[in-house]
Structure 1
Amino acid sequence: MKNTRYLTEGAVLLALFAVMLLVSLYIPLIGGLFSLLLGVPFLIFTARHGWKNSILFFAGSLVLTGLFGAILLLPVTFAFGLGGAVIGELYKREKSRYSILLGGTVIFSVNLVLMFVITNVFANINMLNELQVAFEESMSSTEEMLRSLGQAPSEQQMQLLKESFQTLQYLLPSFLVILGFILAFVTQWSAAPILRKLGYAIEKFPPLRSFKLPKSVLWYYLLVLVLSFLEIEKGSFFYISVLNIATILQLLMVVQGYAFLFYYFHKKSVGKLVPIIIVIITLALPFFLQFIRILGIIDLGFDLRNQRNKK
């Protein structure tokens, strides 16, 4: 009976994955949304039957992808399948929502890096080169359009644009981590209601006001800040590493700052609308993010929440 249920659920979830994969392939707009959810069937199956049983399910998904003639999508199936399975195993072990989110972010980020490597090696597609070509074509068309309007850009402006694009290329690891976080959050968020329907006790995400980084993160941030002031050869491995670590830590400090804002307005018995409006304004005007980041650093360094509780 147990084996029958195991096989039946596996077949149903594999069919669901196949439908989602086909929609992702052939329906442009809706397909983009479905592609974000490809890890959900793996998550549900692993949460119910464990990672050992999910190996066969994982192998079946790869075979299905190959049968559809989507050989180039095998890395995608691998990435989403492994990511969903890891999150499902963390659910099965009843880890906290933030722990699951962290684990999912790590595995999805690693999978995205592997996707880039596999695509480059086996499909001979270098995403960085493709982006470079697309950028150069965009620069040429923009320059021609401005010249036709009698507003030819100066060499200094063009050089500034090239340097900005070069910096964006250096920040590719950070973008992959951010994308890994988004995929982990969407996969976890989408699967939680389904697991609750199946009888699993899934806790809700703790409110943002309760989010607090370990104090050690502040020391890492200060260390990287000092390193960023050193004369480092641009484009070197050390330069790229410092730049990406600094970017991720700055984002974490911004989240810490937002968490303190929500905490402060909650203590003042002010509705959530005010801090939400502040978040929207600061995201629309990135200059103000500097103040949020500084607030996060102060909150982490001086423990503003405990100080306020004592008062």
Structure 2
Amino acid sequence: MKQRFTTIIWSVIYLLLLLSMLTPFSIISAFLVILPVVILFTALDVRSFILHMLPVWLIVGIMSPVYVMLAAYFLIPALAMGYCYRKRSPAMRVLKFGISAILLEMLLLLMIGTAFFQLNLSEYIDEIVKITTAPLEEMGVNSGLAGQIVWTPENLDLLSQRTMQMIPFALIISSFLMTVVTHALARPILNSMGFAVPALKRAREWRFPRSLIWYYLLIWIMSIASHDSNNNFIEMIVINAMPLLQICFMIQALGFFFYLTHLKKWHPIVPFIAAIPIVLFPPMIILGILDLAFPLRQSISNKKR
């Protein structure tokens, strides 16, 4: 009876999140709307899950078909993650399935929009850049900063071009964040409902494949080779791959500090303090690179013994 009441509550939360998707809160709702479906699909059998979904979809469908389209869009990654939870899959596999599902959907929507609805992504980005920079340009003129920041047509075109090239990076990061937020919230909720959900490895055990170093070296060579060339394809690869690899090395460096804190029995707040310079000072990723390239953790552990 308690579980039935809980699932009804989550159905109501799902309805409210869907209704908020066309409001100014849509950015927050987009990161949370997958969560209720994941919980319901994991906790219920297929028949009960459908019975919980139908009333919500009928209500939002009466209000606007757009809500149904949004619900259908977020349903697929939610089912993918819920299926993994049902199978008691490792947490990393859940994240992979969730990220892949969201990313593939985003790419599919771009393809459909371009092929069937004449979506011109370049023009859309140009318009967004103009709308975004207009207040900054006005503020610069009013405050006497126009001489420092000049939004010429050439600068706006360059900004639009760079934004267009960064779309793959934005899609990957968005998919990653949506999946991680969903897992971070779904796991304790499902555990409290009696469904064992595997956790990610502890932060001190985070390690990426050593091959990332070779990828980073390759991208670095490509960035030098494409510096004075007009090869937009290589430039796009570099612009997107470089920050992704740097984020990986930041996570690796953070994992190293968690390991060091555990080994030395330092205060638990130390890794979080260390995260500040790692994020704000990019050269700090060298710690992550060194931790991958050399057995730092093993050598530190052996010294302690």
Range into which the TM-score falls when normalised by the shorter chain: 0.7 to 0.9
**Shift of residue 195, structure 1, vs aligned partner:** 1.5
Given the alignment, which residue of 102, 109, 120 partners 1:108? Answer: 102
**Shift of residue 43, structure 1, vs aligned partner:** 1.4
**Shift of residue 88, structure 1, vs aligned partner:** 0.9
Residue identity over aligned pairs, in percent, reads: 24
**Residue aligning to 1:4:** none
CA distance in 1, matches of 2:14, 2:80: 17
Given the alignment, which residue of 238, 243, 246 partners 1:247? Answer: 243
Given the alignment, which residue of 122, 125, 129 partners 2:123? Answer: 129
Given the alignment, which residue of 181, 192, 199 partners 1:186? Answer: 181
Q: Select between 148-157 and 181-190 the one with higher mean Cα deviation.
A: 148-157
**Residue aligning to 2:273:** 277
Given the alignment, which residue of 283, 290, 302 partners 1:298? Answer: 290
Aligned 8 A contact 2:41 2:49 in 1: no
Deviation digits for residues 153-181 of structure 1, max 9, x if unmatched? Answer: 36877556753553233111111111111
- Give 5+ residue unaligned stretches, structure 1: 1-6
CA distance in 2, matches of 1:221, 1:247: 10
Residue type matched to 2:244 in 1?
I
Pair 1:25 & 2:17 matched: no
Aligned 8 A contact 1:91 1:100 in 2: yes
Residue type matched to 2:235 in 1?
Y
**Residue aligning to 2:136:** 142
CA distance in 2, matches of 1:119, 1:60: 28
**Shift of residue 275, structure 1, vs aligned partner:** 2.1
CA distance in 2, matches of 1:273, 1:155: 40
Residue type matched to 1:278 in 2?
A
Alignment RMSD (CA, Å): 3.6
Given the alignment, which residue of 259, 267, 278 partners 2:263? Answer: 267
| SS of match in other structure, 1:271 | coil
Aligned 8 A contact 2:140 2:149 in 1: no
**Shift of residue 54, structure 1, vs aligned partner:** 9.5
CA distance in 2, matches of 1:13, 1:150: 52
Residue type matched to 2:96 in 1?
L
Given the alignment, which residue of 228, 232, 237 partners 1:236? Answer: 232
**Shift of residue 208, structure 1, vs aligned partner:** 1.4
**Residue aligning to 2:169:** 174
**Residue aligning to 1:40:** 35
Residue type matched to 1:289 in 2?
P
Aligned 8 A contact 1:84 1:187 in 2: no
TM-score by length of 2: 0.80
| SS of match in other structure, 2:225 | coil
Residue type matched to 2:247 in 1?
L
CA distance in 1, matches of 2:268, 2:159: 36
**Shift of residue 81, structure 1, vs aligned partner:** 0.9
Given the alignment, which residue of 290, 294, 299 partners 1:307? Answer: 299
Aligned 8 A contact 1:65 1:71 in 2: no
CA distance in 2, matches of 1:246, 1:58: 44
